[in-house]
Amino acid sequence: MSREAAGGKIIFDMDGVIIKEDCYWDAAALTVWELLFSERYLGLEPSPDLPEFKTGVSAEEIASIRRIILQEGRVTAFFKRRAINSNLDLAFLVFIYQLMSLLRDLERSRPPGDATAREAALLAGGGTFPGNLQRLSRLLKPIYASRGALQFDAVLRERTGSIRGEELLAYFFTGLTGEQGRAGGRALVAASPLWSGVRDVFQEWYLGEEKFRENYGREPSVSGKEGLLHLAAHLLPSEEIGQTLRRLKEQGWILGIATGRSWPELSPHLEAMGIRNYFERASIVTRDQVQKAEESLQKIRAGISLGKPHPYSFLKAYWGTLYNDEELVFSTPPQPPPGKCWAVGDSLADLLSARGMGASFIGVLTGPLGAAAGNLFRREGARVVLPDMTHIPGYLGNL
């Protein structure tokens, strides 16, 4: 039976295109700060320019923590250029790099043949969270005291070559555990208690105590976090966003979404901006659906990962229910007809995901790289680079 998507479709990433990512970056920075300096985890002594750990942080303190840990956005840009799309991945990578740096210093402090550093590295990637970090704390505090403040800009000098996306995630993780080169990709990382522990801390900061309890059905590890979700803002005035989407609908386009946000994280923004009805519900793909597909396909390929830059979310948003998940992932559905599918994004991960499913990519310069993303997008084959999403109707209308 012939299966064809009806009409042309435009699929939007959300963060960095319509919604500001600032609150996600704040959550990433706060996660790293807590894991390094809370007594529940490593319990290091913060440098004078960072506050002592607490859950009641002011907006000024959050801005300061993010500025120092993410180095005025340079650390964020470093990973975004290497196709790290998720800000949870960003938090994980920044933390394990600092942990890896401390373990390197521990190894240098030990006599040849001493196995302490090796055992500590294996403990970092395994064990029970947060017990593994608490045990590491006893080994690392003397090292930290002798070396001084952490260097959050050190990762910018890390030579990663052409490694990007999930390979980069595995590269850093196996570097931490002393198993560099071990195969496994994200599955190897996701199986680690450290990964799930970092995820929970990140979600506690982003969702807040009440919504964390509501979403996960359990208590957060630390009480008192108000959450950042309700502070997320739009990149452009709601009127301009709505007008842009309305013009695209009038041009005959079906509109979809492929986002790393869960539905509870996305829905309030769509409602607040009054743009929910511009998008076809079957063409909205969130993190919930990606995770559900990963779980259902484990029996075929253990450890499968479908987050961007994998093309699954764009494929699902384009084809909807015409193809099931197994067909989308393993059977390579036909590419959309030329000019019938456009993907809009602000990151390399978006571009690679769009390329993987045969969509034409529109790069916008409203993400963390700003105007600097233009050359990256053009080099990687974007069809067009625009200042922001409001320019899309004019561009497509003139083709």
Q: Is residue 124 over pLDDT 90?
A: no
- pLDDT given at position 2: 46
Grade residue 183 by pLDDT with cuts at 50, 70 and 90. low
Confidence of residue 125 (pLDDT cuts 50, 70, 90): confident
Query: Residue 1 — pLDDT band, cuts 50, 70, 90?
Result: very low
Decide if pLDDT at 260 tops 60: yes
Tell me the average pLDDT of the chain.
91
Superfamily name and number for 9-19+234-397? HAD superfamily/HAD-like (3.40.50.1000)
Tell me the pLDDT tens digit for each residue of 62-74: 999 999 999 999 9
Domain definitions of the chain by residue range: 9-19+234-397, 22-230
Q: So what's the pLDDT on residue 191?
A: 80
Burial 329-344 (b: 16+ CB within 10 A, else e): beeebeebeeebbbbb
pLDDT digits (tens, 9 = 90+) for 298-320: 889 877 889 899 999 999 999 99
Q: Pick the range with the lowest mean pLDDT from 84-93, 178-187, 351-360, 373-382.
A: 178-187
Residue ranges in the chain assigned as alpha helix (H): 22-37, 59-69, 74-80, 87-109, 116-125, 131-147, 166-177, 185-190, 193-216, 238-250, 263-273, 287-296, 312-319, 325-330, 348-357, 373-379, 392-397
Q: Residue 226 corresponds to which amino acid? A: E
Which pLDDT does position 6 carry in this prediction? 54
Q: Please confirm whether the linkage preceding 46 is cis (ω < 30° from 0).
A: no
Q: What average pLDDT does range 190-214 have in this prediction? A: 92
Q: Can you tell me the distance from the alpha carbon of 234 to that of 274, in angstroms, rounded to the nearest whole number?
A: 12
Q: What is the pTM of this model?
A: 0.89
